[in-house]
Structure 1
Amino acid sequence: MLTQVIRFTLPSPSTISASGFSSLRRSASAAGAAAQYYGYTVPTRSYPLPREKHEICWVIEWPASADRGSVMAELKDLSAGDATSLLFQFADSQASDLRQAFEAPVCEFACISISSDAPLEDSALQTSMHKTYTDTYKIRGFTGGHWSYASNTNETHGVPSDVVPEPRLAEGDRRLGVYFLGWESIELHEDGTGTPEFSEEIDKLRPYFGPGTGAWYAILRKHQ
């Protein structure tokens, strides 16, 4: 399963409720999308990543064999020309964990960009990357989620969504870990960042943080 995270804006005066975006989501469903979630992004208080005003986050779950080209071309025509994409590979069995994040009151997209001089082959580093995710289950207000390395770029802002052929990084070269985390509220998440459970692995990883480390929130709704 591929999870695609797209960020874009619409030309004024269009909003997320525009009929063109509804039509685009229907096109994605026709192309094989298993599920879609969308909403405006919200800046985080700590480690906020750059975002555009009225930026939309659109998450699509695709079968690995789906042809996304026509949908991305339609998005280019609809958007303000700024659509970018991040791609992630997950096992089908992990879909339910991901949806607990996407269907939460607040979804956090937390990015750890590992610096170019960090030892990716270090098992302790990789253990900390994964434990950063599993430790969130100990934090009040967490609803579920999962994480993965981006497969198409190491840049947090992504690549243009209409790039053909799509870039694909070798597994050993992937340095952008993205955590899809569901929370009952922004305030509960902010409280959680002050806990030992949050800090334990983050403090170990902090020396390896590269440019692009940070997060954004989105209040997502499911496409019906």
Structure 2
Amino acid sequence: MLYSNDMTLNLMRLKRCKKIYSFVFYIYLLGGIMLIVYSIVNSVIFAWEWFYAITTTARSPSGLVIGVIIDAIIVAPPAFILAYHGSVKQHDLYAIFALVLISLNLVLMIILKNKKFFDPMPFAFYVVLLYSVVCIGVSLLNIWANIVYHKLENSYGFPHFNERFSEYEEEKKQRKIMDKYEMEMRRRMKTATDTMSGVDSPIEILEDKDLSHKPDMMDSL
């Protein structure tokens, strides 16, 4: 009964990990799309007249929007790829790299805000801030889920955690072992039989001697 309860708990933990992985995947996907779309919409609505200017300052709406677009293009797609491998593929390093990338991006955005970069459009900073904070949170959740998942990998019954299925799989393994053992025994018996067939029995040896025996002088006496 206790053994069955352990498998039930492990199955619940595994399902929870899979839900977290799906959550991480969609947060990074939708968050990245939101960041890119927001930047493009801002470039069209708020700064279209500056887009074709020869020179722009960092504080102008065009410079700001272009900066946010570049940030979205450079950060969002790689972060999504890292999160995909960290969650769907359960690769720990990728999950950590995604967390580091988003954290560094957040630090950069805070530095730029302190330098008045976002003053023309303060809302743009809060969009990037929201994206970064949410992604950092789900990255930490992803790392925790990976720790639990790797522990479950070493548990009996993984990944199904079904008692009957586990017993069936165990029987299959035992049958394979027995089949290998039986094949090895047959091979050894065949080898031993072939070896014995090449050795003459004592009766055959005596018969050969009788057939090869010729009468000599003592026989004539």
* Category of TM-score, reference length = shorter chain: under 0.3
Asked which structure has the greater RCO (Cα within 8 Å, sep 6+), the reply is 1
TM-score (normalizing by structure 1): 0.22
- Structure having the higher strand fraction is 1
Bigger Rg over Cα: 2
